[in-house]
Amino acid sequence: MPWKETDPMNERVQFIAAYLSEVYSMTELCERFGIRRNTGYKWVRRYTEEGLTGLQEKTRAPHHCPHRMSQAVEAALLEAKRAHPHWGPRKILPYLARRRLELALPAPSTAGELFRRAGLSHARRRRRGHRHPGAIPLQAEVPNAVWTADFKGQFRPGDGCSCYPLTVADAYSRFLLSCSARLSTKQMEARPIFERLFHAYGLPEAIRTDNGAPFATPAFCGLSKLSVWWITLGIRHQRIAPGRPEQNGAHERMHRTLKAEATRPPARPAGALRSLLS
């Protein structure tokens, strides 16, 4: 025996037919069809007012929206966008607000959606973010095989000026090659330190750092001016995985000692601290 197929519309038509036959009461009808009495009265009312078309599902969208843009606002926005096709909503709305004081302008997101529907703007192609290459295990079997470098972190000496200690160490011998107080983490502050170290100790095979400035950026493959300079010199740049400081654990442990010995309490003024760390 084949399955009996039905749908809500057929059920409603059968319900109305049974109701018009006057054989069953409303309570009995609702029990037979498995609906509530208020639902049964609703379909009877719709059939009485609209006929069979009233038994179809209706949209649940509101009949009106008090915050909907008026036609005058839409026309003004589209006119301004066509006059200035390279302007976005955040520039067009202040432009109109100065010239059309009587208009109740919408939010930038609403104006942007209007421009997209009208075909006057297109979604920008998202730039694909670079994937971290992953950190290889730290292997330093001879001196100058791998250097580790990092900024200790910002703190304020006694005179209130910011200090950024840049530390560079040899991963094999744990020898601290440099510990210099810098004014910022910019490339122009870090490059002279590495130039001095390269002249004094030679070029390492690799330099291991975290993903912060100036060692890495959100640019292509995380490259920065400093890391590109290292690569041109034939030095491999090893970046630890984000949020995994233990991959450069020996250097981080050295920072703990540095903080305890040189910054508690910090020198005053900053020049004395700079001479102490350099």
pLDDT in tens, 138-153: 888 899 999 999 988 7
Whether residue 92 is found in the same domain as residue 164: no
pLDDT of residue 273: 47
Helix 8-20 × helix 26-33 angle, to 10°: 160
Min mean pLDDT across 186-195, 197-206, 215-224 is at: 215-224
Average of pLDDT values for 112-123? 89
pLDDT at 18 over 80: yes
Whether residue 214 is found in the same domain as residue 257: yes
Whether residue 153 is found in the same domain as residue 258: yes
Whether residue 76 is found in the same domain as residue 154: no
pLDDT at 128 over 70: no
Whether residue 179 is found in the same domain as residue 226: yes
pLDDT of residue 198: 95
Domain membership of residue 86 (yes or no) is: yes
Domain membership of residue 124 (yes or no) is: no
Residue 91 lies in domain: 71-117
Domain membership of residue 130 (yes or no) is: no
Average of pLDDT values for 114-126? 85
Nearest to 213 by CA among 134, 133, 150, 171: 150
Q: How far apart are CA 44 and CA 10, in angstroms?
A: 14
Average of pLDDT values for 3-10? 72
pLDDT of residue 231: 93
Average of pLDDT values for 267-272? 52
262 phi, psi to nearest 5 deg: -115, -10
Whether residue 250 is found in the same domain as residue 200: yes
pLDDT of residue 95: 93
Whether residue 102 is found in the same domain as residue 163: no
Q: Name the domain count of the chain.
A: 3
Whether residue 102 is found in the same domain as residue 224: no
pLDDT at 4 over 60: no
pLDDT of residue 32: 87
Whether residue 153 is found in the same domain as residue 264: yes
pLDDT at 218 over 50: yes
pLDDT of residue 263: 65
Find the angle CA(214)-CA(218)-CA(220) to the nearest 5 degrees: 105
Domain membership of residue 180 (yes or no) is: yes
Average of pLDDT values for 67-90? 90
Q: Per residue in 235-259, pLDDT tens?
A: 999 999 888 888 888 898 888 887 7
Whether residue 160 is found in the same domain as residue 258: yes
Domain membership of residue 260 (yes or no) is: yes
- How would you list the strands of the sheet with 164-170, edge to edge? 176-182, 164-170, 146-151, 206-209, 236-239
Q: Which percentage of the chain shows pLDDT scores above 90?
A: 37
For the chain, what is the mean pLDDT? 84
Q: How far apart are CA 222 and CA 43, in angstroms?
A: 64
Strands (DSSP E) found in the chain: 146-151, 164-170, 176-182, 206-209, 236-239
Domain membership of residue 136 (yes or no) is: no
Domain membership of residue 202 (yes or no) is: yes
Whether residue 165 is found in the same domain as residue 211: yes
Domain membership of residue 113 (yes or no) is: yes
